[in-house]
Amino acid sequence: MPHRHLLFYKPYDVLCQFTDPLADVANSSNDLSADESSASTRATLKDYISVPDVYAVGRLDRDSEGLLLLTSDGRLQHRLSDPKYEHPKTYWVQVERIPDETALQQLRQGVVIQGYRTRPAKVRLLDQEPDLPPRDPPIRFRKSVPTAWIEITLTEGKNRQVRRMTAAVGYPTLRLVRVAIAHLHLKNLAPGEWRDLTSAEINLLMKTLETRRKR
């Protein structure tokens, strides 16, 4: 049976996995608090994707949105998750206040988060708010404090890295949307929608991985 490779637009507040560990706890215990009981009904990938035996490549936090790649090919999943292949991932990030050039340059050069210096990144301030569906629920912001959007392209994926990077230079992240993984883009997908990769997209992905492996 041929492998399946999917692109999914993960909405906000959806776990990046097919099962929720808290749901298992809820099913085995009657002593949960109200908050724990509510958490046990969190949305997962299973609520949107019915294709069997596909698994997410990497992850997006529950409070992040955007492009997620899933595959039934374990070898491909491993290679895409291996930092040595350095495939780029691009994010649109809404931050509190308007970053100055000094902060943007710090992000480009790398910042220290939890004792680790991030790799150099491509960073630019967007001229206008990107065309994205409204988030549900909307972000919380202060009327007296402006916000801005920046585009960040990374070749690594530490836990909550983008949020920690912007916080480290003094501009907390309010909304985070992954818009691209290598040559794969979010366009033509709405939140909660998915599609199969085309043959051309798969071939280019394999070719890109092979090129980066030989570096």
The string of DSSP codes covering 159-207 is TTHHHHHHHHTT--EEEEEEEEETTEE-TT--TT-EEEPPHHHHHHHHH
Higher-pLDDT residue of 91, 24: 91
Question: What is the pLDDT, as a whole number, of residue 21?
Answer: 82
At 117, which CATH number?
3.30.70.1560
Pairing of strands 173-181, 65-71: parallel
Distance CA 44, CA 54 (A): 14
Number of H helices, E strands in the chain: 6, 11
Question: What is the pLDDT, as a whole number, of residue 77?
Answer: 84
| Candidate list 13, 47, 53, 61, residue with the active-site label | 61
Do 152 and 168 belong to one domain?
yes
Higher-pLDDT residue of 149, 32: 149
Peptide bond into 138 cis (omega under 30): no
Do 175 and 194 belong to one domain?
no
Do 68 and 127 belong to one domain?
no
pLDDT confidence band for 38 (50 / 70 / 90): low
Domain count, the chain: 2
At 72, which CATH number?
3.30.70.580
Do 174 and 197 belong to one domain?
no
Do 2 and 51 belong to one domain?
yes
- Comparing 38-47, 64-73, 109-118, 205-214, the range with the smallest average pLDDT is 205-214
Q: Is the pLDDT of residue 61 over 90?
A: yes
Do 97 and 125 belong to one domain?
yes
Do 67 and 1 belong to one domain?
yes
pLDDT by residue (tens digit) across 165-197? Answer: 999 999 999 999 999 999 999 999 999 999 999
Do 161 and 210 belong to one domain?
no
pLDDT by residue (tens digit) across 116-165? Answer: 999 999 999 999 999 999 998 999 878 889 999 999 999 988 889 999 99
Question: What is the pLDDT, as a whole number, of residue 140?
Answer: 84
Distance CA 157, CA 35 (A): 30
Whether 82 is a known active-site residue: answer no
pLDDT confidence band for 36 (50 / 70 / 90): low
Do 209 and 129 belong to one domain?
no
Q: Is the pLDDT of residue 28 over 90?
A: no
pLDDT confidence band for 62 (50 / 70 / 90): very high
Do 43 and 94 belong to one domain?
no
| Mean pLDDT taken over the chain | 89
pLDDT confidence band for 31 (50 / 70 / 90): low
Do 177 and 98 belong to one domain?
yes
Task: Express as a percent the part of the chain with pLDDT over 70.
Answer: 88
Structural domain that includes position 173: 88-181
Do 94 and 174 belong to one domain?
yes
